[in-house]
Chain A
Amino acid sequence: MKYNPRVNEAVARVEGIANGHPYQPEKISQGALQILKTLSECLIEITGMDAITLQPAAGAHGEMTGLLIVRAYHHSQGRPRKKVLIPDSAHGTNPATAAMVDYAVENLKSDSRGMVDITALEAQMSEDVAALMLTNPNTLGVFEQEIHKIADILHAKGGLLYMDGANMNALVGKVRPGDFGVDVMHLNLHKTFSTPHGGGGPGSGPVAIKKKLEPFLPAPVLMTKSDGTLGFEYNRPQSVGRVRAFYGNFGMFVRALAYIQANGPDGLRQTTEDAVLNANYIRKGLEGTYDLPYSTPTMHEVVFSDKVQAKKGVRTMDIAKRLIDYGFHPYTTAFPLIVPGALMIEPTESESKEEMDLFIEAMKSIAEEVQEDPQTVLDAPHSTRVSRLDETAAARKPVLRWKPAV
């Protein structure tokens, strides 16, 4: 879990920032607009793209915005296309988004290294394909090493390369998607720029694009007026339209900018390096104890499987529950879908070496328990106020609200 700096919270609550009304005259909104501008410039530089919209309210909303831009672009080329290619390792939001903007989804299989199968991509690519939605590094924590080939294959047939920037925290300061052929991408401000998780939100999903896609950005677009002041431009005839009321999750922009300022270029680079170092340290520590389905180099997260433990009837969710007893928040279970029984571990840069040593020790200890006393693991957690909750009963007879006793 990435650290959520407290100074972010403090500056987000400064009177004129917390209480600005979205419709107050631009003349007295220059401070807010300056924050939008500075953050936009930073994110454009970090991604290596040409322009950006901060309007989308979350990552998935950014995906929708990005694909709407893709759709509008192809339309303007006089060639609306029908489908979007999505690797089988992708997060569920990718296919769901494609369906929402009325594209057919075509699955793209991964090769034995956990990367996009280039031959399959070549075979599936056609002038009906609007875009490939690629997460890079992908959900296995693997960098698509043949990214240049992927981009070339797409571009040769007029398709666009969409990058799901969910894992941008593995790249900041080290490599820029704009430099390796990405045409449109979204960012998740919580994942890479430390806005608080908040128990599941709010998010913020800026979408960065290459120059040729600029006319299609959602309206309004931030601009510098002739007198040097900042304002919004609403007259955007080719825009995909508005994706939410007002200008986006402004409070999250404040926090993200404060984070970028606290780090600077050297700090952001070191952050990325530490995140990748931590994931590799855990991989080294647990290799041999847990099955590693893909031995391809790891970036910011490592995915093991429960193959060894499953023989004792213990699955990834059971190991996760047992980890709670050791004082750790469990890793992501059962994702990505291409790894049966996945344990997806993303330590982030925020954990110290001591903490990770404890984690590795805990995971090894659980692996031993699985061999010697699997029931202890199957019954976990033992230390929480409630024990394992009955999700089946919750889904069969949903109780979704409290009702007063009759």
Chain B
Amino acid sequence: MAYPTDRKYTKEHEWIQASGATATVGITDHAQESLGDIVFVELPKVGAELAAGKTFGTVESVKAVSDLYAPASGTVTEINADLATSPEKVNKDPHGSWMMKITLKNAGELDALLSAADYEKFVAEEAGH
């Protein structure tokens, strides 16, 4: 799958798409692929303060749990309530099934993240190990 170029990526396999001071966050196709069938997504409450690089939730498959890491610092303004009842949407459309929206504390933090091309390269390298 081609990784959309309208957003940035983390080495922990999250994507973030900024629009002014707000941003939308989800996990990548590679992440959903390696997790397998996702059965549960645990997200923070609206209003929660997130710090870049810290965990903000978990995503579970039948036999594994992975932490989700905030790509940038900010305040949660909205979570995708749909995922509570239909976690499989993350498998079906990872780049469309966003998890939360945040107000960015420092939009400059995104500059340090990976571009689509760099992320793709990173995933390929990781698989090579």
Contacts and interface: CB of A to CB of B under 8 A. Distances in A.
A334 interface: yes
A391 B63 CA distance: 10
A322 B61 CA distance: 23
A133 to B, nearest CB: 22
Contacts of B62: 391-392, 395
B36 to A, nearest CB: 8
Contacts of B61: 392
Main secondary structure of the interface of B (DSSP, over half): mixed
A392 B63 contact: no
Contacts of B23: none
Nearest to B91: A392
B120 interface: no
A317 to B, nearest CB: 10
B88 A396 contact: yes
Contacts of A392: 37, 39, 61-62
Contacts of B40: 395-396
Interface in B1-54: 37, 39-40
A256 to B, nearest CB: 33
Contacts of A334: 63
A146 B63 CA distance: 34
Interface residues of B, number: 9
A303 B36 CA distance: 25
A334 B63 CA distance: 10
Nearest to B62: A391
A392 B62 CA distance: 6
A391 B37 CA distance: 10
Interface string A327-347: 000000010000000000000
Interface string B59-77: 0111100000000000000
A341 to B, nearest CB: 13
Main secondary structure of the interface of A (DSSP, over half): helix
A299 to B, nearest CB: 27
Nearest to A333: B63
A391 B61 CA distance: 10
B39 A396 contact: yes
Contacts of A391: 62
B94 interface: no
Q: Which of B40, B62, B87, B88 has the most CB of A within 10 A?
A: B62
A391 B64 CA distance: 13
Nearest to B39: A395
A258 B63 CA distance: 38
A334 B64 CA distance: 12
Interface in A385-406: 391-392, 395-396
A242 to B, nearest CB: 33
Contacts of B88: 396
Contacts of A395: 39-40, 60, 62
B39 to A, nearest CB: 4
A391 B40 CA distance: 13
B89 to A, nearest CB: 11
A396 B61 CA distance: 9
B63 A396 contact: no
A322 to B, nearest CB: 19
A390 to B, nearest CB: 10
Q: Which of A334, A391, A396 has the most CB of B within 10 A?
A: A396
B37 to A, nearest CB: 4
B63 to A, nearest CB: 7
A395 B37 CA distance: 10
A253 B62 CA distance: 36
A148 to B, nearest CB: 36
Nearest to A391: B62
B58 to A, nearest CB: 14
A392 B38 CA distance: 8
A395 B38 CA distance: 9
B25 to A, nearest CB: 22
Contacts of B60: 395
Contacts of A396: 39-40, 87-88
Nearest to A397: B85
B74 to A, nearest CB: 29
Contacts of B37: 392
A11 B37 CA distance: 48
Interface of A: 334, 391-392, 395-396
14 contacts: A334-B63, A391-B62, A392-B37, A392-B39, A392-B61, A392-B62, A395-B39, A395-B40, A395-B60, A395-B62, A396-B39, A396-B40, A396-B87, A396-B88
Given A392-B37, A392-B62, 12 more contacts: A334-B63, A391-B62, A392-B39, A392-B61, A395-B39, A395-B40, A395-B60, A395-B62, A396-B39, A396-B40, A396-B87, A396-B88
Going nearest first, the 8 A-B pairs with the smallest beta carbon separation are A395-B39, A392-B37, A396-B39, A391-B62, A395-B62, A392-B62, A392-B39, A396-B87
